[in-house]
């Protein structure tokens, strides 16, 4: 459950805190006089509710639905990024997630440095990154620019490298959220080929996408999220 319009308290300096205490009586008097009125109560919505399913080992399951149906929230709960308001998610196995490509990339660092930084953020060990480094660079097609700061990359180069790092995870369970449309058409074909390799290795995959062709190609089954609003 999320709250719409809820304001989160910001961090305040000591001076702002003392000033707020001094002016509190005047603000209270104005509220009693009906000057500002009470703040509106935030509206609550359920991004997911009464959702229950089981995915077997080695299954490849697609989750489809319109924007706002709760698909990404579902994956964030499974990835332990978001805590569920109620209920629970039980996962057995090492989880890797391709949820937001490029998260953790630093513009001032080179492609090489970002591979190690992003790989560590995604849960890869140093020796795993070392062993996959050449494959990651070749997959992204940035061999000539791997020691160039990524702020000089084109958007396509940046996304290809970010996806390549994430695609070389070695998880038992992989969560994929709308990242199969990265780059141009030839690179998208490479992405599908990589996903096929991960699938054939016996990895359990849960993929969110609007691309029905991707669902037909990759998935054993699919489920459509229902949105009540």
Mean pLDDT of the chain: 81
Q: What is the pLDDT of residue 41?
A: 58
- Do the Cβ atoms of 180 and 167 come closer than 8 Å? no
Q: Give the model confidence (pLDDT) of 175-203 as tens digits.
A: 888 766 666 778 878 888 888 888 888 99
pLDDT tens per residue across span 58-105:
999 988 888 888 888 999 899 888 899 999 999 998 888 777 766 678
Residue 167 vs residue 32, higher pLDDT: 167
**Category of 88 on φ-ψ map: left (φ > 0), alpha (ψ -120 to 50) or beta:** beta
Question: pLDDT at residue 165 above 60?
Answer: yes
Q: Where residue 228 falls among pLDDT bands split at 50, 70, 90? A: very low
Domains, the chain: 2-44 (no CATH), 46-224 (3.40.50.300)
pLDDT given for residue 133 in this prediction: 96
Nearest to 58 by CA among 225, 190, 171, 191: 171
Q: What is the pLDDT of residue 196?
A: 85
pLDDT, tens digit, for every residue of 99-151?
776 667 899 999 999 999 988 888 888 999 999 999 999 999 999 999 999 99
Separation between Cα atoms, residue 189 and residue 197, nearest integer Å: 12
pLDDT digits (tens, 9 = 90+) for 24-42: 666 666 655 655 555 555 6
pLDDT of residue 19: 61
Q: What angle do the packed helices 155-167 and 111-121 form, to 10 degrees?
A: 40
The gap from C-alpha 58 to its chain's centroid, in whole angstroms, comes to: 22
Whether pTM exceeds 0.75: no
**3 state DSSP class of 13:** coil
For the cut 90, the answer to whether the pLDDT of residue 221 exceeds it is no
- Residue 197 is predicted with a pLDDT of 87
pLDDT of residue 227: 44
Mode of pairing for the β-strands spanning 60-64 and 173-177: unpaired
């Amino acid at each position: 459950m999320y709250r719409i319009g809820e304001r989160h308290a910001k961090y305040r300096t000591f001076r702002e805190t003392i000033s707020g205490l001094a002016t509190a009586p005047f603000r209270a008097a104005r509220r009693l006089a009906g000057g500002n009125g009470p703040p509106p109560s935030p509206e609550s919505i359920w991004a997911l509710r009464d959702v229950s399913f089981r995915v077997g080992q080695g299954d490849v399951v697609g989750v489809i639905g319109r924007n706002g149906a709760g698909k990404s929230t579902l994956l964030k709960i499974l990835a332990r990024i978001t805590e569920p308001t109620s209920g629970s998610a039980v996962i057995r196995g090492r989880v890797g997630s391709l949820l937001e490509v490029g998260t953790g990339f630093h513009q001032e660092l080179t492609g090489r440095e970002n591979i190690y930084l992003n790989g560590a953020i995604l849960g890869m060990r140093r020796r795993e990154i070392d062993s996959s480094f050449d494959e990651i660079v070749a997959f992204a097609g940035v061999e000539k620019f791997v020691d160039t700061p990524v702020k000089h990359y084109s958007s396509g180069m940046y996304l290809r490298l970010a996806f390549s790092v994430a695609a070389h995870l070695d998880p038992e369970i992989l969560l994929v959220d709308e990242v199969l449309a990265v780059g141009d058409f030839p690179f998208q074909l490479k992405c599908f080929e990589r996903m096929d390799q991960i699938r054939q290795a016996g990895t359990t995959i849960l993929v969110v996408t609007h691309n029905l062709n991707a669902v037909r190609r990759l998935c054993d089954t699919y489920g459509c999220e229902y949105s009540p609003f």
